Amino acid sequence: MRISIIIPAHNEADFLKECLDSFVSQTHIPNEVIIVDDNSSDATFKIATDYAKNFGWIKVVQRKSIDEHVPGKKVVDTFNFGLKYASDHNLIGKFDADIILPPNYFESVLNHFQSNWKLGMCSGLLYIKKGENWVYEHIADKNHIRGPIKLYHKACFDKIGGLLSGVGWDTVDVLLAKYHNFEALTDTSLQVKHLRPTGHGYSTKKYQSKGEALYKMRYGIILTKIAALKMAWQAKSPRLYIQIIIGYLKASINQCPRFVTSKEGAFIRKYRWQGIAQKLQ
C-alpha cells in the first residue's frame, strides 16, 4: 500500500522540526510527505525545504491565503491544496505539524489496513504534556480518530467525498464512513505527542462554530445539548456549553447549508442514540 501524507503548516517553525524528525525515524517510511506552507511568516518554509533537500520523499508546496485562523475551513482548504500534488496512493493522511509520532506508527497502522479490508480510517491517540508526564488529551473518547492524525483508505476517502471544509470535518468524516459501512480504528498502543493542545487560542466565535457544526451534521437540538454538555464537561468550561448552543441556534435561524443529506442525518442521529444507550447499560 502506497502512503501519501499531507501536512498543512501555518507558522509551525516551533514544532515542525520535531514533527519531521519523527517521520524520518519511522520503521516504515511513507511514500511521500507533502508539507503545505500556508502563508507562513516564520521559518516554516525554510525548515520544510531543508528536510526536502535531504529526503526525496518529502515535498514542499506553498499556498497563499488569509492570515486569520478560520477553524476547520483553513486547514481543510490547505489540505485540499496539497492533495492536488499527491501521487497515486492507497492510503491518504492528513497530519498536523505539531505532533511527534512513535517510530512504529506507520508500520502498525499499515498492518491494520492490510488485515481488515473494511477498515476506512485508522490512527493512534493524542497525548499532551502535563508537568513531566504525557497524558491522554481527553477532549474525545479513545475510539475517536482525531483531526491531527487522520489516515484514510482511498476507497473510504473517495466514498465520503473527501474532507468537508469547516468545523466538525473530523467528526462528520467518521460518521459518513460508518454510513458507508467502513470501520474506524484507534490503536491505543500508538501514543502520539501533541505539542500544542487542541483549542489553543479559541475565541467565543470559534466555540460557537462547534454548535454550527452540530447543526450542519443534523444532530437535532436534544443531541446537540448532550454533545455540548459532554464537551463542556471535558473542557471544564460551562461557558463552552452556552456558546455551542448559541452557535447551533444561530445556524438554525440562518438556515446554514448542511454537511449531510436528510438520509445521512437520520443515520447519524440513530448511530449517536445507539452509542448513548450502550453507555447507559
Alpha carbon of residue 169 to chain centroid: 7
What integer pLDDT is reported at residue 67 of this predicted model?
56
Tell me if 154 sits within 8 A of 93, measured CB to CB. Answer: no
Interatomic CA distance for residues 238 and 247, integer angstroms: 15
Residue 120 three-state SS: strand
Residue 73, pLDDT score: 85
Burial class (CB in 10 A: 0-12, 13-18, 19+), 111: middle
Q: E strands, the chain, where?
A: 3-9, 32-38, 58-63, 91-95, 99-100, 119-130, 133-136, 149-153, 183-194
Measured between alpha carbons, how far is 61 from 74 in angstroms, rounded to an integer?
16
Quote the pLDDT of residue 206. 74
Q: Give bridge partners of residue 151 from the DSSP assignment.
A: 93, 122
Q: In angstroms, rounded to a whole number, what is the distance separating the alpha carbons of residues 154 and 151?
A: 9
State the cell numbers at 3: 502512503
pLDDT by residue (tens digit) across 190-224? 999 999 987 644 455 677 888 999 999 999 999 99
Cα–Cα distance list, 22 to 40, 56, 99, 150 (Å):
22, 16, 9, 16
Buried-exposed string 195-215: b where 16+ CB fall within 10 A, e elsewhere: bbebeeebeeebbbbbbbbbb
Residue 201 has what pLDDT? 46
Given a cut of 70, the residues of the chain with pLDDT beneath it are 66-71, 199-205
Cα atoms in the Cβ-side hemisphere of radius 13 Å centred on 139: 16
Which pTM was predicted?
0.90
Give the DSSP H or E segment for 274. helix 262-280
Q: Is there a contact between 190 and 124 (Cβ–Cβ < 8 Å)? A: yes
Q: How far does Cα 40 stand from its chain's mean position?
A: 21
- The number of C-alpha atoms within 13 Å of 237 and in the hemisphere containing its C-beta is 15
Label the pairing between strands 149-153 and 91-95. Answer: antiparallel
Q: Report the pLDDT value the prediction gives residue 44, as an integer from 0 to 100.
A: 97
Per-residue pLDDT at 238: 87
Taking the C-alpha atoms of residue 129 and residue 220, their distance in angstroms, rounded to an integer, is 36
CA dist 14 and 223 (Å) reads 38
